[in-house]
Amino acid sequence: MTHRILLPRRGMLLAGLAAPLAAPLAAPSIGRAQTAWPQRDLRMIVPFPPGGSTDVLARFVAQALREQVGRPVVVENQAGAGGTTSAGRFAREGDDHAFFVSQIATHGIAPSLFRSLQYDPAADFRAVSLMTTVPNVWLANRDRVPHGDVRQVLRDARARPTEITFASAGNGTSTHLTGELISQQAGVQMTHVPYRGAGPGMTAVMGGEVDTFIDNFTTALPQIQAGTVIALAVTSPQRRPEIPNVPAMAELGAEFGMEGFAAEAWFGLHTHRSASDAVVARMGEAVRTTLAGQALRAQLAERGTELRSSTPEEYDALMRRELARWAEVVQRGNIIVQ
């Protein structure tokens, strides 16, 4: 079945998908003789409007980073075309005092969806560190799916192809492709209903316009806790402690092709390809030290965000695995951008 996608006018949700990394490796210490950088304030480019989860994460980290780098870290929002406009501009700049808040939309999914990107995630950027991974959660309307059983939803989808609907925050978003991945691995056909953002999608599932909705965990958690929607399953490898009675998709096992299933959104920092090894190492060490801070971890944990740092090599490897993974999902689903 061919899915035609309309290019979203605004940023794609950050919202669904990566296996968590192991604990970060210790970075080599950067000697004082090599610390002439930075010579001016640093810029952190967020490719989405203010107020979203990417922006909130960036502002918390930027504020805490100042202590490590000895300079202010100024957040700049540059929204447009799902973050790809900003990424293309960044790739052309070549500023070693600028860092791009990369995530699954711009550096994992977009290269498979958009034929005319003005950047190459692997060739035009240098990885600095992962910052966090966030799962998606599959939600259901209480009246349309009263049993709240994810296994029964998939059995119904097998018995009645295309009748079960799943909403997302928009065509080509991580929440859309999470639903496509579930359908492909479970061997079912569900009907995708895209909305312009997570807010309208949540309203639709609460109001019974659709059967189910796939949302970012951090934005969905308040509605789950309030009981306005049913949480069918999370896409993290294990259950989430905030909702311990909700299964992980991986628990469905071989019956639904879900062994080892994990699909999470991820966010980190990249810099320009021209940045020196010393700059990447210095900033990477600063980010890892910052993300280990207990105060910052507690602040973001309240918002359902678990910080995860990495070495540059680990983050680059994660990105490359995700590029290959979502390219396969797009190809198998015959998802076309127009």
**What angle is formed at CA 175 by the lines to CA 173 and CA 178, rounded to 5 degrees?**
110
What is the spatial distance between Cα 11 and Cα 17, in angstroms, rounded to a whole number?
17
Q: Are 20 and 308 in contact (CB under 8 A)?
A: yes
How far, rounded to the nearest angstrom, does the alpha carbon of residue 239 sit from its chain's CA centroid? 18
What tokens does 332 get?
């198998």
Shared domain check, 271 and 240: no
pLDDT value for 82: 82
Shared domain check, 80 and 126: yes
pLDDT in tens for each of the 338 residues of the chain? Answer: 444 444 333 333 333 333 333 334 334 333 343 458 999 999 999 998 888 788 989 999 999 999 999 999 999 999 888 889 999 999 999 899 999 999 999 999 999 988 889 999 999 999 999 999 999 999 999 999 999 999 999 999 999 999 999 999 888 889 999 999 999 999 999 999 999 888 899 999 999 999 999 998 988 999 999 999 999 999 999 999 999 999 999 999 999 999 999 999 999 999 999 999 999 999 999 999 999 999 999 998 887 788 999 999 999 999 999 999 999 999 999 887 65
Shared domain check, 118 and 72: yes
pLDDT value for 91: 96
**CA-closest candidate to residue 140, choices 205, 46, 45:** 205
Shared domain check, 286 and 206: no
pLDDT value for 52: 78
Q: What is the largest CA-CA distance in the chain?
A: 67
What residue numbers bound the domain in which 244 lies? 135-256
pLDDT value for 30: 38
Task: Give the domain-ending residue among 238, 256, 274.
Answer: 256
Q: Confirm whether 32 is domain-assigned.
A: no
The enclosing domain of 126 has a CATH number of 3.40.190.150
**What angle is formed at CA 116 by the lines to CA 94 and CA 136, rounded to 5 degrees?**
85
**CA-closest candidate to residue 135, choices 294, 246, 282, 8:** 246
Shared domain check, 252 and 268: no
Task: Give the domain-ending residue among 256, 284, 300.
Answer: 256
Shared domain check, 294 and 234: no
Shared domain check, 207 and 284: no
Shared domain check, 206 and 140: yes
Task: Give the domain-ending residue among 230, 256, 282.
Answer: 256
Question: CB-based burial of residue 290 (10 Å sphere; 0-12 exposed, 13-18 middle, 19+ buried)?
Answer: buried
Q: Confirm whether 43 is domain-assigned.
A: yes
**CA-closest candidate to residue 21, choices 296, 246, 313:** 313
The enclosing domain of 204 has a CATH number of 3.40.190.10
Q: What number of other Cβ atoms are within 10 A of residue 207's Cβ?
A: 10
pLDDT value for 336: 73
How far, rounded to the nearest angstrom, does the alpha carbon of residue 164 sit from its chain's CA centroid? 25
Shared domain check, 111 and 180: no
**CA-closest candidate to residue 83, choices 11, 24, 30, 155:** 11
Cis amide linkage into residue 16, ω under 30° from 0: yes
**CA-closest candidate to residue 173, choices 155, 192, 156:** 192
Q: Confirm whether 31 is domain-assigned.
A: no
What is the spatial distance between Cα 29 and Cα 171, in angstroms, rounded to a whole number?
44
Q: Confirm whether 80 is domain-assigned.
A: yes
pTM of the model: 0.83
